[in-house]
């Protein structure tokens, strides 16, 4: 397109002199309904569905870098990276103090609004070399994108090196809703920057996945606040803590009925739902299942989760070894069946009152034992639960039950337990409950030391021998 009456060389010089950075954004940008803040490219792909769809957003490669204002526009229907182009809006400061705003061409405008108005009304490609880069439809903010002003932070619930979780409130459709807020800490130290960016990427990935899930046994997400830093994820507030913290706080007082009906079956239903959506959670454990005061289990922590039937992990990534399936240890492969293996350890945690799996044994030794087909002693548990665990921690993935099968088996166990309780006289029921709590306390007193001795675990020489014969040994249980 021509510059119409301007000197070409001067216009090019103006373009080159224009800067990309914005110390502060024009008010018209922040208030635009199609301004999406620091929304990552992965989310942009989802929102820009049709050719000509566009949005305004900002990017800041490093905390020390100036923010860049970007017009993202879909230019092709396919899923290749080049199907969406990200045009940087440049700002040229004039001697008299005013500014001109430019896109790819050297055509300056008094405001970002004027720039967009020109390209949307003239139907001129914003990138001259890409004929389909016409701005046709401004994509507005979604209901899950919140302004920081709509979020109120309250007391700290937990923190880590690169993030923290706070209680708070968010305004949804004019109403104040209690929520938990995950915040990414602002990091300016160059040495920590890579890890901080990874954490932010993980947080936004978690939010992206959770938006697609709606189940009573899965923690709900309300949305994200990405106008500016710190980035926030707004999720359902569960005040009861995790299943693990409940097991340890209430050790010796939780009945088998609650462990089966609420903790185990609730977790199983949540995981079965995720599997029906093609989600591999990758970090199933009692610590990652929240537990409401109404005794509802809710699967949380989707930072490691992936969509698809199989996921191959890069070498060198840290994993929770004591909950990890043998094929993940040896081949770095995750699948729905590796979640099933982790679920078996969760059941073990529930019926051992929150004891640490393989207590007193190093991760290196656990790797060798699990890959050789050896398992922990079963805790005291109702009839059928040990059989369920056995089917869920089978050595071969194909031999393990699916989560749907695990749910059905749990429902059968619960039904049988209920029928048995009905047949018992009231006095005997009371005695049985007291006996169960007594046995649970006794298990805690004795079990901890027993599980780190030779009676439950193979001696080191036997572990090494087992590891050498991994492919020839069948799954067995240690000490059984």
According to DSSP, the β-strands at 53-59 and 137-138 are parallel
Residue from 328, 347, 359 nearest 392 by CA: 347
Using CA atoms of 73, 75, 81, 85 in order, give the dihedral in degrees to the nearest 10: -40
Integer CA distances (angstroms), 366 to 201, 296, 328, 360, 463, in order: 31, 32, 13, 10, 9
> Within 10 Å of residue 360's Cβ, how many Cβ atoms?
13
Integer Cα distance of 267 and 349 in angstroms: 12
Nearest CA to 231 out of 401, 362, 36 is that of 36
Number of Cβ within a 10 Å radius of residue 366: 21
Nearest to 325 by CA among 384, 280, 360: 280
Q: CA–CA separation, 219 vs 230, rounded Å?
A: 22
Whole-angstrom distance, CA of residue 57 vs CA of residue 77: 21
Residue 182 known to bind ligand: yes
What is the four-CA torsion angle of 429, 432, 433, 438, rounded to 10 degrees? 160
Residue of 283, 301, 339, 353 marked active site: 283
Element (H, E) at 447: helix 426-450
Rounded CA gap, 356 and 283, in Å? 15
Determine the Cα–Cα distance for residues 282 and 324; give it in Å rounded to an integer.
9
User: Is residue 110 among the annotated active site residues?
Assistant: no
Binding site for ATP, residues?
182
What positions carry a catalytic annotation? 283
Q: Which residues define the annotated binding site? A: 182
């Amino acid at each position: 397109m021509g510059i119409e009456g301007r000197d070409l060389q001067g216009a090019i010089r103006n373009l080159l002199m224009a800067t990309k950075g914005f110390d502060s954004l024009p008010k018209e940008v922040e208030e635009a309904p199609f301004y999406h803040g620091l929304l990552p490219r992965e989310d942009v792909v989802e929102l820009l569905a049709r050719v000509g769809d566009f949005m305004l957003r900002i990017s800041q490669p490093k905390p020390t870098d100036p923010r860049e204002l970007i017009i993202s526009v879909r230019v092709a229907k396919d899923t290749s990276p080049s199907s969406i182009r990200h045009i940087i809006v440049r700002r040229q400061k004039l001697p008299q103090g005013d500014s001109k705003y430019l896109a790819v061409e050297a055509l300056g405008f008094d405001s970002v609004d004027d720039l967009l108005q020109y390209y949307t009304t003239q139907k001129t490609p914003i990138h001259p070399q890409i004929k389909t880069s016409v701005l046709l439809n401004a994509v507005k903010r979604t209901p899950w994108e919140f302004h920081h002003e709509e979020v109120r932070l309250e007391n700290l619930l937990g923190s880590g090196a690169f993030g923290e979780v706070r209680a708070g409130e968010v305004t949804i459709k004019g109403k104040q809703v209690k929520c938990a807020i995950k915040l990414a800490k602002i990091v300016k130290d160059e040495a920590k920057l890579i890890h901080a960016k990874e954490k932010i990427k993980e947080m936004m990935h978690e939010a992206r996945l959770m938006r697609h899930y709606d189940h009573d046994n899965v923690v709900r997400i309300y949305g994200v606040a990405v106008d500016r830093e710190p980035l926030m994820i707004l999720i359902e507030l569960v005040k009861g803590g995790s299943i693990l913290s409940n097991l340890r706080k209430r050790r010796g007082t939780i009945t088998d009925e609650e462990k089966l009906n609420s903790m185990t079956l609730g977790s199983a239903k949540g995981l079965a739902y995720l599997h029906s959506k093609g989600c591999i959670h990758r970090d199933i454990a009692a610590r990652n299942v929240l537990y409401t005061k109404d005794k509802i289990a809710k699967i949380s922590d989707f930072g490691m989760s992936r969509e698809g039937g199989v996921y191959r992990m890069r070498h060198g990534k840290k994993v929770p070894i004591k909950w990890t399936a043998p094929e993940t240890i040896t081949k770095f492969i995750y699948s729905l069946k590796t979640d099933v293996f982790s679920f078996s350890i969760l059941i073990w945690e529930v019926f051992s009152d929150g004891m640490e799996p393989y207590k007193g044994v190093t991760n290196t030794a656990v790797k060798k034992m699990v890959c050789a087909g050896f398992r922990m002693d079963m805790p005291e548990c109702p009839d059928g639960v040990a059989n369920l665990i056995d089917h869920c921690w089978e050595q071969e993935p194909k031999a393990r039950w699916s989560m749907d099968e695990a749910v059905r088996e749990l429902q059968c166990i619960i039904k049988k337990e209920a029928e048995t309780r009905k047949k018992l006289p009231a006095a005997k029921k009371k005695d049985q409950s007291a006996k169960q709590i007594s046995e649970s306390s006794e298990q805690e007193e004795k079990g901890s030391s027993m599980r780190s001795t030779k009676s439950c675990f193979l001696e080191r020489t036997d572990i090494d021998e087992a590891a050498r014969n991994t492919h020839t040994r069948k799954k067995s249980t240690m000490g059984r």
